């Protein structure tokens, strides 16, 4: 069955929206709501009862400059022209496709006054075999995704003038591109968080910690857990059963009473991150599916608000960046414990072998260098905000800028996680007294991938 977009659509389905072959539908009344809102907008204009931002006026700070009503087509086309100035690496096509489909959902709510034929063209564009290139830089995260969305919807107006008086503004005054990017980042981060959890167990096994009787009962004593936290414990149990099958029975048991915090307190770190990312996911899901426009066309008239303002996405970005920094920092500390003779309880220094140079000292240095870069990009969104566009946008959420930083940090986290897993697997086998599999020799690291 095709994916049906509605207010309760989950994050997994929102992720699938980015794939060209994903079938999707809006509810049967969406086209009727679009037509009703467009007709209502025309009635308000013809009656002279309402002054409409972006139709009777110029945009943003230039609000006081009036525009002759009969010039609405030229006015809308000019808006698109001056916004198509983005720079920077192009966003992935799946992010653009998801944004267009999310925007179709938002228009289908019936409050933007989009022309019905433009709505149908938007649906067709969202399913087109190829999409326009959309530069990643240009959105302030305040008045929606003006510049990125202008690039995304430009094909709708390449050979045609706008058919309705709000066609361009309704399509660019939105959070769709930011929300689409946030959906993608969230899913990728959840995957790396899971990989970091499995890597933690490998390092714990390598250090001999699991052999000291620590169990779920100890972690959970005197505490209550959320659903997602309990699911994390269930996942750990599955991993432990998997590792049990790989133990040799000849592991050297260390005499240390308890490990340092990065090992024995790791469950508390993961549990907090689980809750934070669950909350971030809820924010992203709501932002992706809510109406985001200004002004909106209601039955009782035109309402000028700020539904495009994306404070929730900025908060979600901060929660995701916080998770990235904490995961990377924890993994770097675990690596340090595992490679250092004073703390690794009898493992070879730097997990070396008899083969010269086949050790992981350089990989630990690499992980620390990447961690430095991640920390350097971890400014909260609030510090990225400043007054923009002649003070019209005097407090901006900086959501897109934050998300782009999170995406870059996420790519780096992937490298730290890969190093962490590689070293953890070496430590596991060396603790068991087993020979290293060929893929864990240092020469094979460039080809090593998370499994």
pLDDT digits (tens, 9 = 90+) for 131-143: 999 999 999 888 8
Specify the length of the chain in residues: 451
Q: Which CATH number covers residue 206?
A: 1.20.200.10
Query: pLDDT by residue (tens digit) across 312-333?
Result: 999 999 999 999 999 999 999 9
Q: Which CATH number covers residue 50?
A: 1.10.275.10
Angle, CA 240 vertex, CA 236 and CA 414 arms, to 5°: 60
Average pLDDT over residues 102-117: 97
* 99 within 8 A of 21, measured Cβ to Cβ: no
Q: 12 and 125: one domain?
A: yes
DSSP per-residue codes, 273-316? HHHHHHHHHHHHHHHHHS---SSEEETTEEE---TT--HHHHHH
Q: Of the segments 52-56, 218-222, 343-347, 392-396, which one has the largest average pLDDT value?
A: 343-347
Q: Are strands 135-137 and 296-298 parallel, antiparallel or unpaired?
A: unpaired
Domain boundary among 159, 175, 191: 175
Look at residue 212 in the predicted model and tell me its pLDDT. 44
CA 33 to each of CA 115, 263, 291, 362, 413: distance values in angstroms, whole numbers, following the listed order: 11, 55, 13, 61, 44
Average pLDDT over residues 12-41: 96
CA 438 to each of CA 93, 198, 358, 422: distance values in angstroms, whole numbers, following the listed order: 37, 21, 11, 12
Overall number of domains in the chain:
2
- CB atoms inside a 10 Å sphere around CB 354: 6
Q: 134 and 227: one domain?
A: no
Q: Which residue has the higher pLDDT, 305 or 39?
A: 39
Look at residue 213 in the predicted model and tell me its pLDDT. 44
Residues 137 and 140: their CA atoms lie apart, in Å, by: 9
Q: Which residue has the higher pLDDT, 291 or 60?
A: 291
Q: Please, what is the average pLDDT of the chain?
A: 92
Q: Give me the residue label for tokens 């709510």.
A: 109
Q: 352 and 416: one domain?
A: yes
Look at residue 423 in the predicted model and tell me its pLDDT. 98
Look at residue 144 in the predicted model and tell me its pLDDT. 84
Q: Give me the residue label for tokens 């699938």.
A: 16
Residue 295, preceding peptide bond in cis (omega within 30° of 0): yes
Residue 357 buriedness (CB in 10 A; 0-12 / 13-18 / 19+)? exposed
Average pLDDT over residues 369-389: 89
Q: 166 and 188: one domain?
A: no
pLDDT bucket at 55, cuts 50 / 70 / 90: confident
Look at residue 366 in the predicted model and tell me its pLDDT. 98
* 226 within 8 A of 278, measured Cβ to Cβ: yes
pLDDT above 60 for 248: yes
Average pLDDT over residues 413-436: 96
Average pLDDT over residues 153-158: 96
Tokens linked to 416: 């730290």
* 13 within 8 A of 3, measured Cβ to Cβ: yes
pLDDT bucket at 217, cuts 50 / 70 / 90: low
Average pLDDT over residues 30-55: 90
Q: 124 and 233: one domain?
A: no
Q: 250 and 355: one domain?
A: yes
Domain boundary among 131, 151, 175: 175
pLDDT above 80 for 373: yes
Q: 190 and 79: one domain?
A: no
Look at residue 220 in the predicted model and tell me its pLDDT. 72
Q: 164 and 274: one domain?
A: no
Q: 77 and 210: one domain?
A: no
Q: 98 and 191: one domain?
A: no
CA 355 to each of CA 352, 358, 360, 363: distance values in angstroms, whole numbers, following the listed order: 8, 6, 12, 17
Domain containing 147: what range? 3-175
- CB atoms inside a 10 Å sphere around CB 174: 30
**Among candidate residues 16, 130, 15, the one with its CA nearest the CA of residue 1:** 16
pLDDT bucket at 303, cuts 50 / 70 / 90: very high
Tokens linked to 430: 């060396």
* 203 within 8 A of 337, measured Cβ to Cβ: yes
Q: What percentage of residues in the chain have a pLDDT greater than 90?
A: 75
**Among candidate residues 166, 34, 178, the one with its CA nearest the CA of residue 107:** 34
In this structure, of 146-155, 202-211, 308-317, 434-443, the range with the lowest mean pLDDT score is 202-211
In this structure, of 283-292, 299-308, 388-397, the range with the lowest mean pLDDT score is 388-397
pLDDT bucket at 216, cuts 50 / 70 / 90: low
pLDDT above 80 for 429: yes
Q: 168 and 211: one domain?
A: no
DSSP per-residue codes, 376-433? HT---HHHH---BTTTTB-S---HHHHHHHHHHHHHHHHHHHHHHHHHHHHHHHHHTT
Q: 208 and 295: one domain?
A: yes
pTM over 0.85: yes
pLDDT above 90 for 210: no
């Amino acid at each position: 069955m095709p994916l049906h977009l509605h207010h309760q659509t989950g994050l997994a389905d929102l992720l699938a929206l980015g794939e060209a072959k994903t079938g999707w539908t809006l509810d049967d009344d969406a086209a009727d709501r679009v037509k009703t809102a467009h007709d209502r907008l025309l009635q308000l204009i013809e009656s002279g009862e309402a002054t409409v931002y972006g139709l009777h006026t110029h945009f943003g700070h230039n609000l006081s400059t009036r525009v002759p009503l009969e010039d609405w087509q030229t006015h809308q086309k000019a808006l698109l022209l001056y916004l198509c100035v983005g720079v920077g690496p192009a966003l992935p096509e799946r992010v653009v496709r998801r944004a267009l489909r999310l925007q179709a959902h938002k228009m289908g709510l019936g409050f933007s006054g989009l022309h019905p034929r433009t709505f149908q063209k938007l649906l067709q564009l969202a399913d087109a075999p190829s999409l326009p290139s959309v530069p990643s830089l240009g959105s302030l995260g305040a008045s929606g995704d003006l510049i990125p969305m202008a690039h995304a919807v430009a094909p709708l107006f390449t050979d045609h003038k706008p058919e309705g008086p709000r066609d361009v503004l309704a399509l660019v005054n939105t959070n769709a591109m930011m929300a689409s990017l946030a959906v993608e980042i969230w899913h990728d981060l959840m995957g790396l968080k899971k990989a970091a959890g499995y890597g933690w167990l490998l390092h714990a096994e390598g250090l001999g910690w699991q052999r000291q009787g620590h169990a779920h009962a100890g972690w959970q004593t005197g505490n209550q857990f959320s659903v997602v936290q309990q699911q994390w414990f269930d996942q750990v149990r599955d991993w432990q059963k998997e590792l049990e099958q790989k133990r040799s029975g000849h592991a050297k048991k260390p005499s240390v009473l308890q490990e340092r915090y990065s090992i024995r307190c790791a469950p508390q770190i993961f549990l907090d991150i689980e809750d934070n990312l669950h909350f971030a996911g809820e924010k992203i899901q709501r932002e992706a599916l809510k109406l985001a426009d200004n002004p909106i066309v209601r039955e009782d008239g035109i309402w000028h608000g700020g539904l495009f303002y994306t404070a929730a996405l900025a908060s979600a970005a901060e929660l995701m960046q916080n998770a990235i920094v904490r995961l990377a920092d924890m993994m770097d500390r675990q690596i340090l414990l595992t490679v250092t003779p004073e703390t690794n309880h009898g493992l070879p220094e730097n997990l070396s072998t008899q083969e010269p140079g086949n050790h992981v000292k350089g990989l630990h240095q690499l992980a620390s260098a990447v961690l430095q870069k991640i920390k350097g990009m971890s400014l909260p969104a609030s510090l990225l905000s400043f007054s923009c566009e002649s003070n019209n946008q005097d407090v901006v959420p900086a959501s897109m800028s934050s998300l782009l930083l999170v995406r870059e940090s996420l790519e780096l986290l992937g490298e730290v996680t890969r190093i962490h897993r590689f070293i953890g697997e070496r430590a596991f086998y060396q603790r068991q007294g087993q020979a290293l599999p060929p893929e864990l020799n240092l020469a094979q690291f460039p080809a090593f991938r998370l499994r």
